[in-house]
């Protein structure tokens, strides 16, 4: 059956609290990151992602103390992103308790950062997050939490990310973010079928069937979601039992 598919809750953190929006805007509070992280670790999540969503935009460092507090509550792999621009940022996050770091804006601005991170800490530590939107002229990558369009195309950038040694790609479709109408399965399948590194799907989960489809149609290695978990719409244990019944290999 291959490697088990992973279910990954995501904590988008702003000013010390977990938030969730639609299409990267209209944020509302979803609770305390430390409490949520502990609950997800105990509920059977495979990993946890913590993104300081305004760190890049505001040009400040990720909230290190919060990372430490969350990490102390976890027994699962923990990825941290937001405002990571250089090796000292990576070092600080790993020291605070992260297992992996997610880099996004900084990698597009200076792609050699990917090689620096993987050379120093190993490819397994380096997750490159790609926020992309399907515009009239195709899929384009965006910076600063979706505020700034670049001329980098999703697929050519993803290929370069792999070539530079990243361990995983976390692809968020901005069109699908928070809409709960399903993941960007066509784009995900194109990424998964043309790359060798794992693809984490983000943006669009609204029901259990969307998770099934992202693994079967989108060929994703992992599915990340936020609001359906934060607001109790889909319990992780129930989701995994459903996926197993649908023939998808998950850890129960």
Residue numbers annotated as active site: 12, 131
Give the burial string for 75-100 (b: 16+ CB within 10 Å, else e). ebbbbbbbbbbeeebbebbbebbbbb
HSE value, Cβ hemisphere, 13 Å, CA-based, for 41: 17
**Which residue intervals of 3-79 are DSSP H helices?**
33-43, 55-58, 64-71
Contact call for residues 38 and 58 (beta carbons, < 8 A): no
Q: Which backbone phi and psi does 213 adopt, to 5 degrees?
A: -65, -35
SS3 105: helix
Contact call for residues 64 and 96 (beta carbons, < 8 A): yes
Mode of pairing for the β-strands spanning 199-202 and 168-173:
parallel
């Amino acid at each position: 059956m291959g490697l088990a598919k992973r279910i990954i809750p995501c904590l988008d953190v702003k000013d010390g609290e977990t938030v969730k929006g639609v299409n990267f805007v209209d944020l509302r509070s979803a609770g305390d990151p430390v409490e949520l992280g502990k609950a997800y670790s105990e509920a059977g999540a495979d990993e946890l992602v913590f993104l300081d969503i305004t760190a890049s935009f505001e040009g400040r460092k990720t909230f290190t103390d919060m990372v430490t507090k969350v990490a102390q509550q976890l027994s699962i792999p923990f990825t941290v992103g937001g405002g990571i621009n250089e090796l000292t940022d990576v070092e600080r996050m790993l020291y605070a308790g992260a297992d992996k770091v997610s880099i996004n804006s900084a990698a597009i601005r200076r792609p050699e950062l990917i090689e620096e991170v993987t050379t120093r800490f190993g490819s397994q530590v380096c997750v490159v997050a790609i926020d992309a939107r399907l515009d009239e002229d195709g899929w384009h990558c965006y910076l600063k939490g979706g505020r700034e369009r670049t001329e980098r195309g999703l697929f050519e950038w993803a290929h370069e990310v792999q070539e530079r040694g990243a361990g995983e790609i976390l692809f968020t479709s901005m069109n699908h973010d928070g809409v709960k109408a399903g993941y960007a399965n066509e784009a995900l399948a194109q990424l998964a079928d043309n790359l060798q590194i794992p693809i984490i799907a983000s943006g669009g989960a609204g029901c259990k069937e969307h998770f099934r489809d992202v693994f079967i149609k989108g060929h994703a290695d992992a599915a990340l979601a936020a609001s359906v978990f934060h607001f109790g719409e889909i319990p992780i244990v129930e989701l995994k039992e459903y996926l197993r019944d649908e023939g998808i290999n998950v850890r129960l």
